């Protein structure tokens, strides 16, 4: 799943920006990514 890949990227010590982390799994907007990711991590998706 795209969000699982994003979670893994956030844990890597690569110092990626949120924009870069959002782009890797295919999100074009980091704000939308943040909104969806927070729902995912809180178990709402």
- Count of domains for the chain: 1
pLDDT tens per residue across span 3-25: 898 888 888 888 888 899 999 88
Q: What is the span of the domain harbouring residue 11?
A: 2-41
- Cβ proximity of 3 and 36 under 8 Å: yes
Whether the pLDDT of residue 35 is over 80: the answer is yes
Q: Which residues contact 25 (CB under 8 A, 6 or more apart)?
A: 2, 3, 5, 6, 9
pLDDT tops 80 at residue 39: yes
pLDDT over 80 at 45, yes or no: no
Model confidence at 32, pLDDT cuts 50, 70, 90, reads very high
Angstrom distance (rounded) from CA 36 to CA 45: 8
């Amino acid at each position: 799943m795209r969000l699982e890949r994003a979670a893994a990227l956030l844990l890597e010590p690569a110092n990626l920006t949120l924009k870069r982390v959002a782009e890797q799994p295919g999100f074009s907007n980091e704000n939308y990514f943040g909104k969806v990711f927070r729902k995912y991590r809180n178990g709402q998706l």
